[in-house]
Amino acid sequence: MSNKEQLPKDHKDSEFKSPITVKEEEIDLVKFFNLISQGFSSIFNFLIKMLKMFFHGLIVLLIFLKQNILKIISVGVIGLLIGGAIDFYNPKTYTYDMIIQPNYGSVDQVFKKMEYYNVLIEMEDSTSLANIFDLTHPEANSLVGFELLPYETDKDKILAYDEFVKSTDSLTQMHFTFEDFIGEGTSKLDSKEYIYRVNSTLPKLKSLSEKILFEIENNKTIQKRKKIRLSTLKLDSISSRVSLLQIDSLRSLYKKVTLLEVENNQLPSASTYLNFGNEQVSKNNDIELFNISKGLNDKLIEIEMLKETSEEIVNVVTNFNEAGRESNLPIETYKFKFLIFFSGTYFIWILLVRLNFYLNEYRKSFID
């Protein structure tokens, strides 16, 4: 038989597998499916075990509550009655909020004055408080305390971080993330706006904003900062306006020169030299001057916005309300606090008693 006749026969034989090879493959598939089945069974058994443990714990907890719920409620009612008695004899407290925006580092002065007022309240010096705020003695006696709370939203934090990113290099930004910038919480001196809170026992109280602001602004150092700041903004505004006039003149001159060159059939000069800001800058067309003019206009808008917020040492965003808001919320009352305290304490005591019982039983069974 020739090689040409033998080749098809050998190729045909290679397409058929021996019975032994087929049997081995079937055994491998059976093992594979058995392993998958065992894996699913293990997962299913684990889930069933966890559910049994969960329901067992739930039943034990329900039995425990069934045995002790009346005792816990009784102790809680005792705490509720004691807290209610304390709330009855303690007068209600009302809060009056004013949102302010201190400028020129005056937030330190705000804190110092606020602490001084709180000291007068602790000393029960109603005469001094009445003189400072122009109040009657009953109104001065009604003051409970002063607070200053940072008023900052998530949007304010993001905008502050955006300003920080714009003012730093990329290397600093890589090692100083937003979480690092925010930190654990807002510092009392880091916020732009604050809630100035007055606590009083009167539901209606004369507005104290005028006297509070007068006490803060009556500081020579802060007044000097304000004067310098406003003078600087004024000079910047004048300088920008003068520069705009000069640029407008230069643009007009450039247009005239260009028109003359066109009329005389001359090519435009390669560049125009401008002396702006004591620096020799080469300008080759009117677009460059337009961009400078636009930048100065943007700067003027920014200056006017700064002047608007810098006119006052302390900007008042919202003033005090005529009527106070009752600060004794349900969760802030002694009734709620004593109810939770008495019930929680008794619950923990029962758990400790049970734990002690199980420990004694374990010692008797396995140690003694």
The predicted structure's pLDDT at residue 20: 56
The predicted structure's pLDDT at residue 29: 67
Residue 59, H or E segment = helix 19-89
Does residue 43 sit within a domain? no
pLDDT exceeds 60 at position 74: yes
Position with higher pLDDT, 253 vs 235 = 235
Does residue 23 sit within a domain? no
**How is residue 93 written in tokens?**
């407290």
Position with higher pLDDT, 28 vs 125 = 125
Give the distance, in angstroms, between the CA of residue 227 and the centroid of all CA atoms in the same chain: 33
CA-based radius of gyration for the chain: 41
The packing angle between helices 126-133 and 107-122, to 10°, is 140
Does residue 237 sit within a domain? yes
Percentage of the chain beyond pLDDT 90 is 5
pLDDT exceeds 70 at position 75: yes
Percentage of the chain beyond pLDDT 70 is 74
| Structural domain boundaries enclosing 281 | 225-312
Which band of pLDDT confidence, cut at 50, 70 and 90, is reported for residue 14? very low
Does residue 287 sit within a domain? yes
pLDDT exceeds 80 at position 279: no
What is the total count of domains within the chain? 1
The predicted structure's pLDDT at residue 336: 86
pLDDT exceeds 80 at position 320: yes
Closest CA to 131 of 201, 323, 139: 139
Q: Specify the pTM.
A: 0.58
Does residue 219 sit within a domain? no
The predicted structure's pLDDT at residue 341: 92
| Cβ-Cβ contacts under 8 Å for 17 (sequence gap 6 or more) | none
pLDDT exceeds 50 at position 368: yes
Model pLDDT for residues 144-167, shown as the tens digit of each residue: 889 888 887 666 667 666 766 766
DSSP 319: -
The predicted structure's pLDDT at residue 119: 92
Q: Which of 14-28, 128-142, 277-291, 323-337 has the highest mean pLDDT?
A: 128-142
The predicted structure's pLDDT at residue 8: 47
Does residue 202 sit within a domain? no
pLDDT exceeds 80 at position 284: no
| Cβ-Cβ contacts under 8 Å for 45 (sequence gap 6 or more) | none
Model pLDDT for residues 167-184, shown as the tens digit of each residue: 676 666 666 666 666 655
Model pLDDT for residues 295-317, shown as the tens digit of each residue: 888 888 888 888 877 888 888 88
Model pLDDT for residues 216-252, shown as the tens digit of each residue: 888 888 888 888 888 888 888 888 888 888 888 877 8
pLDDT exceeds 50 at position 2: no
**How is residue 238 written in tokens?**
């004048």
Does residue 80 sit within a domain? no
Does residue 250 sit within a domain? yes
